[in-house]
Amino acid sequence: MRDQPTAARDQAHAAPAPEADTARLIADDKAYVWHPFTQMADWLADEPLVIAAGEGSYLIDTTGRRYLDGVSSLWVTIHGHRHPVLDAAVRAQLDRIAHSTLLGLANVPAIELARRLVALAPPGLTKVFYAENGASAVEIALKMAFQYWQHRGEPQRTRFLSLQGAYHGDTLGAVSVGGIDLFHARFRPLLFPVLHAPQPYCYRCPLGKTHPACELACAEALGDLLAAHASEVAAVIVEPLVQGAAGMITQPPGYLRRVRALCDHYGVLLIADEVATGFGRTGRLFACEHEGVAPDLLVLGKGITGGYLPLSAVLTTQAVYDAFLGDYTELKTFFHGHTYTGNQLCCAAALANLDLFAQEDTLGRLQPKIARLAKGLAPFRALAHVGEVRQRGFMVGIELVADRATRAPYPLEARVGQRVCRAARERGAILRPLGDVIVLMPPLCITEDELEHLLAITYASIVEVTEPC
């Protein structure tokens, strides 16, 4: 079983490169590569790791050193690196064809995958539109919702409502519905205006209330916005249950259900962006399932291929799909597509990912690990600079604060989140913070021993940076 250390695959990983190669690669990286979300001045001053291989829950650098992949290679790895079933599926697809276009042609894995996704998704979602990344899929969902209302004879529905702190990707439409000022404020002149509802962030409630006495006042505020703009809003877009990039902000129970009810009441479409929460991250295949909610548009990405290849999808209802049907000259066509839409290699990996969920009972075996993670996180709450520990399934945010009593954040220049993650790297785990929130998002396949090790490294690294002796 895959919860045992991966003995068979232990033999196979790449031999470490000679030291000189590593030095040359690092020099060339610094010479030629511009890294995402990275202050390159810092990068140039530091010693980067060059990953050459992976195995199960580990990343392996060019010198052969192994690191626990504590954030699933940016939230995507599900069954581990170099899983034999996923590897074989991609190889088998390579023996047939890597890519042909979905514009004017169908292809085998794109068809099979669409059928499988529809069978697994919340009820009512019957059509699948593919793209290559989460941001593009968000653009598709926004444009579909916008055009839908034109065909429905309500062309004045042109606005979107999103949450403060929302993250939906880095393209301009996705940034428009985003709500993280650090990333988004600079681009405001390029963006379309959006209605922003207060963030369901109980630790720092924007309404100054306390849960559960608040009775979900944040959802009421969203309802008030919808009431005030009832005839103008095309869709509400939310990250269900957890606002990931905002700092793993976990929503109070009932919030998503209330948002769905408000959308129904005002006749507005609901877009659920499950790019981060989908494929088991919250303990169920999709986060919406926890609240018995079916959105009108479901956005999937990240874990859809088990972390192997770039693929995303928008699932929608028969009603949305049907609104686009008509004579060609009516121009009701959805004029949108990407060159690699429905790529066979990516869809083959996604099919193998779904096979593994069934074959390995990934979600069943995840439940005790979620409990173990919860237990392991309890001691963190006693640390002097841990403000809040948030967990939903295998999504964890540990919010570090300068002062626990006042909840005052650290100043930006203290770079506490970055320093904790750098300390973790020295101890053998790769983490990536969100500001001063330390994120844990291990691969779902991680063993309980590996999980304990990841927790021990994280704990020691937080203590080292926030309580230096």
Applying CB under 6 A, the residues found at the interface with ligand PLP are 133-135, 138, 167-169, 239, 244-245, 273, 275-276, 301-302
Judged by beta carbon, residue 133 or residue 305, the one nearer ligand PLP is: 133
CB of 1 to ligand PLP, least distance (A): 30
CB of 250 to ligand PLP, least distance (A): 14
Judged by beta carbon, residue 135 or residue 217, the one nearer ligand PLP is: 135
DSSP for 439-459, please give it: EE---TT--HHHHHHHHHHHH
CB of 11 to ligand PLP, least distance (A): 33
CA distances from 409 to 250, 305, 462 (A): 19, 37, 15
Contacts of 90 (CB under 8 A, 6+ apart): 308, 309, 345, 348, 349, 352
Judged by beta carbon, residue 56 or residue 417, the one nearer ligand PLP is: 417
| Tally of CA atoms within 13 A in the half-sphere of 248 that contains its CB | 27
Tally of CB atoms within 10 A around 241: 31
Judged by beta carbon, residue 117 or residue 245, the one nearer ligand PLP is: 245
Residue 205's SS3 state is coil
Contacts of 33 (CB under 8 A, 6+ apart): none
CB of 222 to ligand PLP, least distance (A): 18
Dihedrals phi, psi of 143, to nearest 5 degrees:
-70, -40
CB of 136 to ligand PLP, least distance (A): 7
Judged by beta carbon, residue 271 or residue 401, the one nearer ligand PLP is: 271
CB of 115 to ligand PLP, least distance (A): 23
Shortest-Cβ-distance residue relative to ligand PLP: 134
CB of 394 to ligand PLP, least distance (A): 14
What whole-number distance in Å separates Cα of residue 298 and Cα of residue 318? Answer: 13
Tally of CB atoms within 10 A around 161: 25
Token pair listed for 242 = 């957890």
Judged by beta carbon, residue 239 or residue 399, the one nearer ligand PLP is: 239
Handedness of CA 457, 463, 464, 469 (dihedral sign): negative
What whole-number distance in Å separates Cα of residue 186 and Cα of residue 184? Answer: 6
CB of 73 to ligand PLP, least distance (A): 12
Give which of 126, 103, 94 is closest to 344, Cα–Cα.
94
CA distances from 93 to 96, 98, 270, 352 (A): 5, 7, 35, 11
Judged by beta carbon, residue 134 or residue 283, the one nearer ligand PLP is: 134
CB of 168 to ligand PLP, least distance (A): 5
Judged by beta carbon, residue 128 or residue 217, the one nearer ligand PLP is: 128
CB of 435 to ligand PLP, least distance (A): 15
Judged by beta carbon, residue 107 or residue 162, the one nearer ligand PLP is: 162
CB of 251 to ligand PLP, least distance (A): 13
DSSP element (H, E) containing 43? helix 40-45
Burial 44-62 (b: 16+ CB within 10 A, else e): eeeeebeebbbbbbbbbbb
Handedness of CA 46, 47, 52, 56 (dihedral sign): negative
Is the separation of the CB atoms in 400 and 462 below 8 Å? yes
What whole-number distance in Å separates Cα of residue 261 and Cα of residue 265? Answer: 6
CB of 459 to ligand PLP, least distance (A): 26
Judged by beta carbon, residue 280 or residue 301, the one nearer ligand PLP is: 301
Residue 156's SS3 state is coil
What whole-number distance in Å separates Cα of residue 110 and Cα of residue 350? Answer: 9
Judged by beta carbon, residue 52 or residue 347, the one nearer ligand PLP is: 347
Judged by beta carbon, residue 308 or residue 459, the one nearer ligand PLP is: 308
